[in-house]
A and B are shown apart, each in its own frame.
Chain A
Amino acid sequence: MSIYMMKQETAEAKAVVVDDMFLTTDMPTTAGSKMLEGYNSLFEAEVLTRLKNAGYAVAGKTKVGEFGVDLLGETCYFGAEYEGESLQYPAALAVKNGDGKAAVVLDVNGAPRRGAAQSGLVALKPTYGRVSRYGTIPVACSGETVSVIANNGTDCREVFCAMAGHDSKDGTSLPESMTEQGKAAVNKRNKVAVLSSMLKGVNEEVQAKIAAAAEQLSKNGVEVVTIDAQTVAYAGAAWNILMSAELCNNVSRYDGVKYGYRTKNYTNIDELYTNSRTEAFGDFLKSAILFGSETLSTENYSKVYDKAMRVRRVIRDDMAAMLADCDALLMPAVSTLSYDRTLVERDKYLPYKENFFTAPASITGFPVVVAGGVQLVGNAFSEELLLDLAELV
């Protein structure tokens, strides 16, 4: 048995793996947390039902960091994955190992995109609302999106098509009519913009990836321009606020009363709550809970949370304006192509820093493709166009 996943026997050729943020009825769902160790769901995620109906089989579940908010799974209660001293993303390992033709993952805070960028795989995070979130562990509901990682764009596209579409069980799922309209409104401009404001703090290797991608696109007849988009650089700061606030609220349900971990050490309800959560949640998650709780306090709501929502709207408008004129915004997905163990263990705030690159697509709900180690963020409903561009880089 591999360390990065729980395996299941499957004879199917069309095997996929899913990460541990998806509820399954034949295997436990833990979200990488001691809190949900051995938790068995009463129902399964909508996307799994759709994949099975399309002839896919689930070959296993890959590990995630606690509630999927970290870099690459380093906060997983069941252990992080390192190759040598280099942190590895379990879903990417599974794809590279051939456990499935694709990994279906929940992109909460960019981990799948970081994993794909560092492993040289292709990842697709579709437009928010195109794939049902029913049956995924809720964390940062306003941005998290069911995504796909595969060896190439073709496999990504195939699995995405099997999952996408309206689901009446998800109130944020887009109606088919809106998707059809949105897709029809996508115009190919044959132009890609590099966002210079997003190149801040990336190392030479990553800079080289950006340069290589730009060159490949140019070679294939795509005009590449550079835009200095200052507002987009604030996406990370705003997303950290929104994500933490939603996370704080969403993990409040794990209180030791109904299911999940319950402390043995309590004499009253307050101790039951406090001790269960203290004993079962990891440090990184606790810091996110505290931060989120703070942003929503009566004192801070308008100063912090509400402001972050305004920033979100500004960024969305600005990016939509840029995308009216080009097919995609080219930007890095990571600052470095490998996270070293000592760095990961020393800098506990690394996930909050690295999501500088992934937050623009998380906060706007715009689709993004990772290929050739870089991100191509497109306008809503432009998944097909992005996957075409990904072929070129």
Chain B
Amino acid sequence: MKYETVIGLEVHVELATESKIFCSCSAHSFGAEPNSHVCPACCGMPGMLPVVNRRVVDFGMKAGMMLNCDINRVTTFDKKSYYYPDLPGAYQTTQWFAPVAVNGRVDIETSAGKKSVRIKQIHMEEDAGKLVHDISEGTTHVDFNRTSVPLIEIVSQPDLSSAEEVEAYLVRLRTLLRYAKVAECEMAHGTMRCDVNLSVRPAGSDVLGVRTEMKNMNSIEAIKRAIEFETARHIDALENGTEVLVQETRRWDDAKGKSYAMRNKETAGDYRYFPDPNVMPVVIDDAWYEAIQNSVPEFPEVKREKYIALGLTEYDAERISESIMLCECFEEASEACGNPKEVVNWITSDVMRILNAKKMTYEMLNLDNQALGKLISLTGDGKISRANSKKILSAMFDDRSIDPEAYAEANDMLIGEQNDDMILDVVKKVIEADPKSVNDFKNGKEKALMALFGKCMKELKGNCDPQQLKVILLECING
């Protein structure tokens, strides 16, 4: 019999707001000392009251708009109760009854073709802390740095049917949320985590099979392996009766390449949701809604088409539109210098090379894009040599405030007007000092010219247009 896999995902994404969801502690504590980003509120001490961080609602709404959702104009927060040492209040504030966004859609494309994945809802909630186990001491410590860091949970309908589609969906989510600048979505940092709900049924059946859930998956590769393993396990059970499938939560052991049923105790429980009386319903009025709507960026496809119309190759247009930071860099620098094709060359060569060398992602790009445009103009106009322009770009990566012209001037890199004479002087000096190379060249040795050229360039400290230098050098040699 042929089978089909039915997969729904719950994706948790940490929102990139400055502060936590209900207190003013910094939300960025990746790698920080344990319990250095905490206050009585996010430690669950009695007497502190939650005050909603409006930026979290901004980001939640924007994420909803990116995923084609309807925004609930009155959105509420609810308490979800359970005991765990990393949850200091013994409840998580989340959205159960009126989540910020509902009924969305994410379009994906795979080898199987195009597909729309329906989004059931996006809700905002607070993250829990972390347990740190000290095996040598046999003790467990609690780190509350992450408690109350804002999250959104994106719940899809069971519309996915393969590991490939899941990958395409996750990559698409990441691209869209990064485009909206609401989240880092870095699985390795834990800023994107995924629960996979999976069942298998005979192809064409409209009855869902027994569903199992794998929680807290944190790499796309592991998710793909887990889906393949679970699909095979389910089919084996249906086909050969190797085991009886039960609805349960399973843990994926990526090292062993197997999933395991979790102890019932870890999964069972009634969360006793009820509206949090300390958080008033958030009412999103028209002005607020429109302000967020106006901040929603163009989708990657729209940008790509626009770039192709500007004369970029499909390949370059695709590369640039991969990241909103590259798009902004491209668009702003092009506007400043008026030469999009030249800008794309710079981005795909020098900018990407430096990012690579610094081990920075596209999202970490922090150039002054207008200054980049200016640098490209100055280089194109022959005011700065190509070699020096690379040095200046490198400096601009480290210091956003650098103005390329002022920097070139201060560092003797600006090619001035009187330069023809200066170049001529240098060339004459070099030729006089090295008659052998001149003769070699005249006798047909091309390499000798390069040697002379190099000497001139060194004397000039690189401050000259190579084309111009070559012309003057040849004129002098040929008399």
CB distance A252 to B81 under 8 Å? yes
Q: Report the minimal beta-carbon distance from B285 to chain A, rounded to whole angstroms.
A: 15
Q: Report the minimal beta-carbon distance from A248 to chain B, rounded to whole angstroms.
A: 8
Closest to A135 in B: B47
B44 within 8 A of A: yes
CB distance A252 to B274 under 8 Å? no
B270 within 8 A of A: yes
Assuming the contacts A172-B277, A269-B85, asked whether A249 and B272 have C-beta atoms less than 8 A apart, the reply is yes
B52 within 8 A of A: yes
Contact with B along A207-225 (1 / 0, CB 8 A): 0000000000000000000
- A298–B274 CA distance with the chains assembled, in angstroms: 10
B267 within 8 A of A: no
Contact with B along A11-29 (1 / 0, CB 8 A): 0000000000001000000
CB distance A259 to B45 under 8 Å? yes
CB distance B279 to A171 under 8 Å? yes
Contacts of B280 in A (CB 8 A): 171-172
Contacts of B48 in A (CB 8 A): 43, 134-135
Interface hits, B35-70 → A, CB 8 Å: 40, 43-52
Q: Which of B81, B85, B277 gathers most chain A CB within 10 Å? A: B277
- A136–B275 CA distance with the chains assembled, in angstroms: 20
Contacts of B89 in A (CB 8 A): 252-253
Contacts of B51 in A (CB 8 A): 168-171
Contacts of B91 in A (CB 8 A): 249, 252-253
Binds B, one of A69-77, A137-145, A227-235, A329-337: A137-145
Contacts of B277 in A (CB 8 A): 141-142, 172, 246
Contacts of B43 in A (CB 8 A): 258
Assuming the contacts A171-B280, A257-B142, asked whether A138 and B47 have C-beta atoms less than 8 A apart, the reply is yes
A349 within 8 A of B: no
* CB < 8 Å neighbour of A171 from B46, B52, B90, B142: B52
Interface hits, A108-142 → B, CB 8 Å: 133-138, 141-142
CB distance B90 to A253 under 8 Å? yes
Q: Report the minimal beta-carbon distance from A305 to chain B, rounded to whole angstroms.
A: 6
B273 within 8 A of A: yes
A263 within 8 A of B: no
A273 within 8 A of B: yes
Interface hits, A238-252 → B, CB 8 Å: 245-246, 248-250, 252
Contacts of B34 in A (CB 8 A): none
B79 within 8 A of A: yes
Q: Report the minimal beta-carbon distance from A273 to chain B, rounded to whole angstroms.
A: 6
* CB < 8 Å neighbour of B47 from A41, A252, A301: A41
A184 within 8 A of B: no
- A138–B45 CA distance with the chains assembled, in angstroms: 10
B83 within 8 A of A: yes
CB distance A137 to B46 under 8 Å? yes
CB distance A252 to B90 under 8 Å? yes
A150 within 8 A of B: no
* CB < 8 Å neighbour of B272 from A31, A169, A296: A296
- 5 tightest Cβ-Cβ pairs between the two chains A and B: A252-B90, A142-B277, A296-B272, A141-B277, A135-B47
Query: Could you list some 19 contacts between A and B, CB below 8 A?
Result: A134-B48, A137-B46, A138-B278, A170-B49, A171-B52, A172-B278, A245-B274, A249-B272, A249-B274, A252-B89, A252-B91, A253-B90, A255-B85, A257-B85, A259-B45, A269-B85, A296-B81, A297-B270, A301-B273
- Residues of chain B at the chain A interface (Cβ within 8 Å): 40, 43-52, 79, 81, 83, 85, 88-91, 142, 270, 272-275, 277-280
- Residues of chain A at the chain B interface (Cβ within 8 Å): 23, 31, 41-43, 45, 133-138, 141-142, 168-172, 245-246, 248-250, 252-253, 255, 257-259, 269, 273, 293, 296-298, 301, 305, 309
Give me 10 other A-B pairs in contact (C-beta within 8 A), A134-B48, A253-B88, A258-B44 excluded. Answer: A133-B49, A137-B46, A138-B47, A138-B49, A138-B278, A172-B49, A249-B91, A252-B81, A296-B81, A309-B275
